[in-house]
């Protein structure tokens, strides 16, 4: 791997130290040339960077043996984006796609000493503005913040095969980067080089796994020898004759009684390591090892009385997929460490998820992301990198997309976590070609001739090119053209609506259209792949970007760190609907957490109650790329919001869900994603906030595994009697031979109308990381704060009178969160955050 890089603006004379992998922005930060881009409104002051050309350079030596090798290849795993590469003053490569791997045989250019490598990055803005002028009209690109980039309404993001979110999004800033964003290395080889090993999974069952090793071998000349392949006690040898150039071999393998790979909650994540080598005269000439898990993964779309199903089936088992949408973890992706990726994936596991959707406006993630998903049993819904825009369809653009798709599918196809390839995010429904008054109003800006051309270009990419690549290179994984949609029908039935009974749905009327949370209960589709609600990050995070004089939700800095237009006002509007008035700015942040958590909890549990009609729920969004108000459940620094703690409970494999949307009735559901039947006792109690029991009952329950069932319904007046609804709580517990499996509270009025009583919360330290809490009366949404970085086993919970809550402070361990010493703890509840005289 090549190191010791330097960089400069092309017009400058002096070089500065550079970090590779990295980008211009991060190198300028580390050199002290620009201020922290995330602080205040600094983003707006560094938009000049993307208008400049930049150069990176290094000098390297090679040992004599390497220089004499038959082949010496220079490999760039990622160049962002328009780059010309020079080696010893010879132009060897022109790159134009951030998502591709670039390889060049440089045997004729390298020498033993003082090799000069230079990469010249052309401004992506200057490169693409002429393309816009040549096209003659502006293609829709709703989230391109061209105004912040000092380009007016000229949106050029759609021309670059580059991470779309670099140009801004409704949760992210505009930093249009340039740089060497993945490793650079020299690879030398002699007679043979195995360039790819793919284990195609042809037929997998419990009794036998039939797979085919697809091997790509480059040969310098005619070669004869022995090919050996081995895995878990299986060894295959065969004599082969390889011709000069690329050789593609297929080796069938049968594994008896295989150990299968399962997603979290269903079984172990077992791996097979396949080793292949070419040997001649007992000398290994080349070899390669890959890891994969054996599984079948299908998307089942079958017509039924309600429409058409849409669910994932793993090893023949239908799965209700639970998870979130993932965006890049940083505006500058080279800043994301292994530990940050691990924190995200383990946080998903701790929250009982089994799927993440890699959304199409970011990047195809680094290998480590997929390796962690493999190891922890997280299925991946993988978008291609197209989102919320219409794209050109000229031959050069299509050729670049095809090469990008080939590189990406080949890189990721051995990962057992890969569950679906999706062409794009929201473009089918945004354009809505077959319904004149549907969509986002894009097509009305174009003539009929332009419309047909734009739609034809769309179909060329998403209905022809991408599915053909997936089918040829990864036939065991399903391809879906756009999320959301119903099916390719070439008529009005193609586009998804909020009431679709087939395909997947993005439901955004809650939030964007200010609909109440109760709408989540009535808008449930076959697969809910997007929905969300915003909150602010916690105070510690806000202070990382806002000075003390900006700590107000309407301040310039707080509004700048809110990319969704009226987002701060929407949070305030919903807060007025559901929560009491906060007493200060920190309390406003706290209330926003509770608000978001309650809203998304109601959505998740509505989706799960509708199982098997609905078979998947992926909320928007898991994470952030900078410190910001957004839909995330975990902020930029990995700090869990209330939402992540609520998700952990609502995604449990066996869960109680209380549906009280109908004010006169309460329905209690038991939902199981376990394969085992659930047998136990439902314990119900209605109590006043000071602990007086006014109703209690028990019921024996038996629910089949992998089902959702309404196990108890009651008219509210039957058990509240003369008591006021704003002073009581219903507590439901499911008790089995394993103890209390789940417990839920239900209130009969919104939180803003509750007549809360001042709690006396007592905290007792049990050991360095564990403590217990008790309260004399109901303590609503108890909030635990620590000076140290870590997460609690529970937070923002309701502490019932007379009950003891044991909580542990934790940090990331090898496979999960492990206890961590906690020295300081601050405890508050909702009443501490309410403005005086608003509840009594």
**Burial of 516 from C-beta contacts in 10 A (0-12 / 13-18 / 19+):** middle
User: Based on the domain organization, do 21 and 104 belong to the same domain?
Assistant: yes
Pairing of strands 102-105, 179-180: unpaired
Instruction: Compute CA distances 63 → 57, 90, 110, 191, 232, whole Å.
Output: 20, 21, 11, 19, 37
- H or E stretch covering 251: strand 245-256
Instruction: Tell me, yes or no, whether 43 and 174 share the same domain.
Output: yes
Same domain membership, residue 618 and residue 501: yes
Q: Provide the token pair at 834.
A: 């309410």
Asked if 688 and 728 count as a contact pair (C-beta separation under 8 A), the reply is yes
pLDDT at 721: 79
User: Tens digit of pLDDT for each residue in 104-162?
Assistant: 999 999 999 999 999 999 999 999 999 999 999 999 999 999 999 999 999 999 999 99
> Is the pLDDT reported for residue 514 higher than 90?
yes
Q: Which of 191-200, 222-231, 623-632, 655-664 has the lowest mean pLDDT?
A: 655-664
If you ran DSSP here, which 8-state letter would residue 141 be given? B
Spatial separation of the C-alpha atoms in residues 65 and 62, rounded to whole Å? 8
**Last residue in a domain, options 721, 755, 789:** 755
The kind and range of the H/E element at 578 are helix 567-578
Q: Which residues contact 783 (CB under 8 A, 6 or more apart)?
A: 590, 795, 796, 827, 828, 829, 833
529-557: pLDDT as tens digits: 999 999 999 999 999 999 999 999 999 99
* CATH classification of the domain holding 805: 2.60.40.10
Name the residue among 747, 745, 740, 679 with its Cα closest to residue 709. 679
Give the Cα separation of 246 and 223 in Å (integer). Answer: 12
Taking only the tens place, the pLDDT of each residue in 779-789 is: 999 999 999 99
Long-range contacts of range 443-451, CB-CB < 8 Å, 24 or more positions apart?
445/140, 446/137, 450/137
Q: What are phi and psi of 166, to 5 degrees?
A: -60, -25
Mean pLDDT, the chain, rounded, equals 96
Contact 680, 734 (CB under 8 A): yes
Residue 548 sits in the same domain as residue 623: yes
Residue 661 has pLDDT above 90, yes or no: no
Q: Would residue 147 count as lying in a domain?
A: yes
Could you give the CA distance from residue 608 to residue 601 in angstroms, rounded to a whole number? 11
Write down the pLDDT at residue 161.
98
Distance CA 84, CA 805 (A): 61
Q: Is residue 403 part of a domain?
A: yes
DSSP 363-383: -PPPHHHHHHHHHHT-EEEEE
H helices of 671-807, in order, are 716-720
DSSP annotation of 543: T
Measured CA to CA, the distance from residue 707 to residue 704 in angstroms comes to 6
Cα angle value 806/809/810 (rounded, 5°) = 130
Q: Does residue 171 surpass a pLDDT of 70? A: yes
Residue 433 lies in a domain: yes
Q: 16 and 144: one domain? A: yes
667 and 518 fall within a common domain = no
> What is the reported pLDDT for 237?
95
Residue 837 is predicted with a pLDDT of 64
CATH assignment of the domain containing 516: 3.20.20.80
Q: Which of 185, 212, 245 is the last residue of a domain?
A: 185
Residues sharing a CB contact under 8 Å with residue 242, sequence separation 6 or more, in sequence order: 192, 217, 219, 222, 223, 224, 278
Same domain, 369 and 438: yes
> Which residues are registered as beta bridge partners of 191?
none
Query: Quick one: which of 824, 807, 689 has its CA closest to 749?
Result: 689
Query: How far lies 636's CA from each of 75, 494, 621, in Å?
Result: 32, 37, 12
Exposure b/e, 741-778, CB count within 10 A at least 16 = b: bbbbebbbeebbebebbebebeeeeeeebbbebbbebb
Helix-strand-coil split of the chain, %, nearest 5: 25, 35, 40
pLDDT tens for each residue of 26-40: 999 999 999 999 999
CA distance 143 to 165: 8
Within a domain: residue 633?
A: yes
What confidence score (pLDDT) does residue 135 get? Answer: 95
How far apart CA 339 and CA 335 sit, in angstroms, is 11
Q: For the residues of 595-608, what is the DSSP string, one character each? A: HHHHHHHHHHHHHH
**282 and 324 belong to one structural domain:** no
pLDDT at residue 660 greater than cutoff 90: no
Q: Is the pLDDT of residue 840 over 50?
A: no
Phi-psi region for residue 638, left (φ > 0), alpha (ψ -120 to 50) or beta?
left
Q: Using CA atoms, how far apart are residues 264 and 620, in angstroms rounded to an integer?
A: 20
pLDDT at 195 over 70: yes
Is it true that the peptide bond before 484 is cis, omega within 30 degrees of 0? yes
Residue 838 has pLDDT above 60, yes or no: no
Residue 639 to residue 788: CA distance in whole angstroms? 11
- Domain match, 155 and 268 both: no
What mean pLDDT comes out for the span 296-311? 97
Q: What is the pLDDT of residues 722-731, one digit of tens each?
A: 889 999 999 9
CATH number at residue 37: 2.60.120.260
The model's pLDDT over 348-391, given as tens digits with 9 standing for 90+, comes to 999 999 999 999 999 999 999 999 999 999 999 999 999 999 99
Give the contacts of 318 (CB within 8 A, at least 6 positions apart): 300, 311, 312, 612, 615, 706
Which of 533, 534, 586 is CA-nearest to residue 834?
586
End residue of a domain, out of 585, 612, 641: 641
Same-domain status, 514 and 377: yes
CB-count exposure of residue 203 (10 Å: 0-12, 13-18, 19+): exposed
- Beta partners for residue 483, in sequence order: 425
User: Above 80 in pLDDT, residue 342?
Assistant: yes
CA 197 – CA 228 distance, rounded (Å): 13
- How many CB atoms lie under 10 A from the CB of residue 523? 21
| Residue 317 in domain | yes
Looking at the structure of the chain, the number of domains it has is 5
CA distances from 701 to 116, 665, 669, 676, 733 (A): 74, 20, 11, 14, 12
Q: Which of the 8 DSSP states describes residue 777? A: S
Task: Judge whether 628 lies within some domain.
Answer: yes
With a pLDDT cut of 70, the percent of the chain lying above it is: 100
Identify which of 799, 808, 820, 788 has the alpha carbon closest to the alpha carbon of residue 743.
799
Residues 239 and 98 in one domain: no
Laid out side by side, the sheet with 311-314 consists of 297-300, 311-314, 317-319
Domain limits at 658? 652-755
pTM, two decimal places: 0.96
pLDDT of res. 664: 85
Task: Say if 306 falls within a structural domain.
Answer: no
Distance between CA atoms of residues 235 and 577, nearest Å: 67
- Lowest mean pLDDT segment, chosen from 184-193, 434-443, 478-487, 808-817: 808-817
pLDDT in tens, 635-656: 999 999 999 999 999 999 999 9
Residue 302 placed within a domain: no
Confirm if 425 and 387 have CB atoms less than 8 A apart: yes
Does residue 669 sit in the same domain as residue 629?
no
Instruction: Give the C-alpha separation, 440 to 513, whole Å.
Output: 14
């Amino acid at each position: 791997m090549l190191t010791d890089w330097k960089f400069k603006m092309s017009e400058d004379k002096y070089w500065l130290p550079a970090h590779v992998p990295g980008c211009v922005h991060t190198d300028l930060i580390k050199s002290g040339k620009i201020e922290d881009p995330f602080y205040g409104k600094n983003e707006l002051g560094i938009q000049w960077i993307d208008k400049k050309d930049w150069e990176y350079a290094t000098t390297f030596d090679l040992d004599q043996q390497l220089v004499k090798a038959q082949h010496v290849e220079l490999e760039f795993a990622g160049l962002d984006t328009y780059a010309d590469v020079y080696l010893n003053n010879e132009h060897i490569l022109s790159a134009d796609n951030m998502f591709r791997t670039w390889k060049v045989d440089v045997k004729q250019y390298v020498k033993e000493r003082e090799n000069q490598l230079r990469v010249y990055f052309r401004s992506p803005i200057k490169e693409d503005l002429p393309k816009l002028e040549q096209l003659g009209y502006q293609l829709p690109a709703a989230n391109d913040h061209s105004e912040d980039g000092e380009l007016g309404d000229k949106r050029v993001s759609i021309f670059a095969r580059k991470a779309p979110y670099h140009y801004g999004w409704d949760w992210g800033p505009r930093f249009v980067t340039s740089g060497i964003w993945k490793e650079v290395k020299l690879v030398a080889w002699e007679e043979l080089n195995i360039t790819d090993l793919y284990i195609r999974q042809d037929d997998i069952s419990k009794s036998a796994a039939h797979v085919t090793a697809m091997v790509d071998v480059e040969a310098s000349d005619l070669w004869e020898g022995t090919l050996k392949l081995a895995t878990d006690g299986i060894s295959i040898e065969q004599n082969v004759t390889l011709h000069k150039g690329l050789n593609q071999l297929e080796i069938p393998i049968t594994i008896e009684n295989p150990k299968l790979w399962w997603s979290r909650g269903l079984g172990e994540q077992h791996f097979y390591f396949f080793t292949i080598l070419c040997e001649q005269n007992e000398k290994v000439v080349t070899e390669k090892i890959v890891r994969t898990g054996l599984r079948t993964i299908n998307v089942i779309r079958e017509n039924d009385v309600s429409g058409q199903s849409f669910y994932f089936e793993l090893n023949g088992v239908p799965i209700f997929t639970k998870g979130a949408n993932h965006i890049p973890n940083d505006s500058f992706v080279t800043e994301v460490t292994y530990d940050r990726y691990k924190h995200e994936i383990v946080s998903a596991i701790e929250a009982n998820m089994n799927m993440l959707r890699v959304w199409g406006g970011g990047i195809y993630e680094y290998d480590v992301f997929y390796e962690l998903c493999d190891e922890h049993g997280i299925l991946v819904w993988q978008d291609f990198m197209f989102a919320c825009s219409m794209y050109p369809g000229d031959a050069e653009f299509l050729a670049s997309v095809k090469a990008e798709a080939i590189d990406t599918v080949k890189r990721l196809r051995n990962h057992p976590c890969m569950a679906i390839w999706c062409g794009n995010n929201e473009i089918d429904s945004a354009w809505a070609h077959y319904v004149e008054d549907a969509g986002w109003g894009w097509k009305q800006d174009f003539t009929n001739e332009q419309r047909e051309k734009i739609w034809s270009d769309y179909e060329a990419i998403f209905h022809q090119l991408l599915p053909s690549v997936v089918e040829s290179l990864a036939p065991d994984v399903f391809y879906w053209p756009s999320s959301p949609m119903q099916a390719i029908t070439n008529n009005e039935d193609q586009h998804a609506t909020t009431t679709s009974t087939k395909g997947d749905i993005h439901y955004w009327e809650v939030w964007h259209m200010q609909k109440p949370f109760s709408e989540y209960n009535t808008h449930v589709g076959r697969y809910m792949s997007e929905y969300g609600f915003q909150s602010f990050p916690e105070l510690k995070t806000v202070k990382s970007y806002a000075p003390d004089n900006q700590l107000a939700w309407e301040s310039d800095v707080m509004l700048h760190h809110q990319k969704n237009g009226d987002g701060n006002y929407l949070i305030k509007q919903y807060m007025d609907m559901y929560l009491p008035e906060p007493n200060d700015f920190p309390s406003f942040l706290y209330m926003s957490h509770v608000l978001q958590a309650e809203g998304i909890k109601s959505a998740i549990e509505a989706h799960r109650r509708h199982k098997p009609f609905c078979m998947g729920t992926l909320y928007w969004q898991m994470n952030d790329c900078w410190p910001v108000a957004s839909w995330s459940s975990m902020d930029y620094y990995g700090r869990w919001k209330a939402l992540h703690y609520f998700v952990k409970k609502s995604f449990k494999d066996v869960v109680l869900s209380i549906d009280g949307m109908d004010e006169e009735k309460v329905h209690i559901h038991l939902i199981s994603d376990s394969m085992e039947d659930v047998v136990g006792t439902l314990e119900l109690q209605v109590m006043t906030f000071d602990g007086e029991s006014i109703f209690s009952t028990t019921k024996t329950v038996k629910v089949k595994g992998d089902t959702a069932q309404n196990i108890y319904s009651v008219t509210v007046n039957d058990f509240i009697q003369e008591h006021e609804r704003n002073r009581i709580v219903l507590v439901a517990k499911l008790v089995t031979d394993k103890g209390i499996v789940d417990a839920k509270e239900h209130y009969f009025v919104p939180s803003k109308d509750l007549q809360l009583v001042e709690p006396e919360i007592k905290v007792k330290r049990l050991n360095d990381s564990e403590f217990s809490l008790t309260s004399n009366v109901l303590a609503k949404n108890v909030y635990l704060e620590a000076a140290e970085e870590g997460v609690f086993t529970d937070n923002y919970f309701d502490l019932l009178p007379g009950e003891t809550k044991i909580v542990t402070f934790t940090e990331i361990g090898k496979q999960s969160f492990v206890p961590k010493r906690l020295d300081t703890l601050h405890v508050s509840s909702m009443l501490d955050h309410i403005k005086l005289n608003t509840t009594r």
